[in-house]
Every structure is written in structure tokens, then in C-alpha cells.
Amino acid sequence: MIVCTLAALLAWVPVAAHAEQLEFDHRLYPPLKQVLDSGDAGMVKFDASNPRRLVDLIAVRGKSAKDWTEALEIVATLPFPQLGSAQAWMEFQRDAAIKRCPGATPATFKVIAQDDFSITFERQSPGCRAERAETGIYRLLTGKRSWFQLAVLAKTPLDAAARDQWLALLASAKFK
């Protein structure tokens, strides 16, 4: 099985030297596989400006990692002891999303799947200019030494087939 692993991205950052590794099957969403196979560096943006929070954004649709309409964002962070669980992390994100757009149509959150160390949910924020994307599908995974957020971000609604493929990709994510 071919997988994307975050170990290579995290290897050079001192904080991440002891981080858990996360892998997922990028082949489950063919447009993502196509972008990764193309080797187009302009479609990927890696931000290590904060070694406690590493961010990798891969533009799946759009011109570049700066000008996208659909993207996968991978965030590796140190655990948040004050949150303690994936559920609490999601609730923290939900509260922040509601505060970002108090006058707009309220953001909706729908839990799709949950287990002891992860939660998958969908956020819809129609009409909220403060959000980077109208639709977000997230999988939050909490390990002992590292937490990961996989976020599918779409500025326009996803069709049912794309949504199902993204959900399969998110479900494939696991600690190595």
C-alpha cells in the first residue's frame, strides 16, 4: 500500500523528533494523487515557522497552494493538555468558528465518526468570509506525543462522490 507519511515532513524539526507518525492512503482521492504525482512544488506549501505546529497545505484544485478552491491541510501539533481529547478539540474549533462569523448564517457541525483517539466531522459555514473555505471535513487524531488534523477544505460545495472519497481517505489515517 502506498501511503503519504508525515515522518519525512517532520524529521528535521527538533520538536517532531519524538513525534508519532501518521499515514493515510492518498490514492483514495484521485485528484490528490494526481497533484502529488505531478511533483508541482507550487501546489504544496509547508509552514514550519512554529515548530510546535507544522502545517502542510496541498492544493488539489486551483492554481497553486496560495490560490486554491479545494485543498488538503495537514497539521501536526503538540498535544493540548487543556483539551485532553479529540472531542474537546473539535468543540474548541466549533466555538472558534461560531465566534468568527457571529452575524452570518451560523456554522453547522456534524460528527461523522468517532473513536477513542479521533473524531471526523464536517463544518459548513455558508456566507462566512472569515473562513478560508465554506466546507471543511476534518479528522482530528490524538496521540500520546503528537496530535494531527487532516482538513479537507473546499470553497465550493463538494459533490457526493468527492465527499465520499475524501471521507475514505480520512478514515484511512492511522498512527504508524
Sheet with 53-62: strands ordered across: 44-50, 53-62, 68-77, 147-154, 135-142, 118-124, 108-114
pLDDT at 6: 42
pLDDT at 149: 97
**Helix residue spans in the chain (DSSP H):** 7-10, 30-38, 86-100, 160-172
CA neighbor of 155 nearest in space, from 116, 127, 121, 115? 127
pLDDT at 108: 87
In angstroms, what CA-CA distances link 69 with 4, 158, 163? 22, 11, 14
| E strand segments, 10-156 | 22-24, 44-50, 53-62, 68-77, 108-114, 118-124, 135-142, 147-154
C-alpha to C-alpha distance for 19 and 23, rounded to whole angstroms: 13
pLDDT at 13: 38
Write out pLDDT tens, residues 93-124.
999 988 888 776 778 899 999 999 999 999 99
pLDDT at 155: 96
pLDDT at 70: 98
C-alpha to C-alpha distance for 65 and 140, rounded to whole angstroms: 22
C-alpha to C-alpha distance for 65 and 166, rounded to whole angstroms: 18
Q: From the first residue on, what is the mean pLDDT of each consecutive set of 10 residues in the chain (176 residues)?
A: 41 49 96 96 96 95 97 95 93 90 79 96 90 95 94 96 98 94
pLDDT at 25: 97
pLDDT at 97: 87
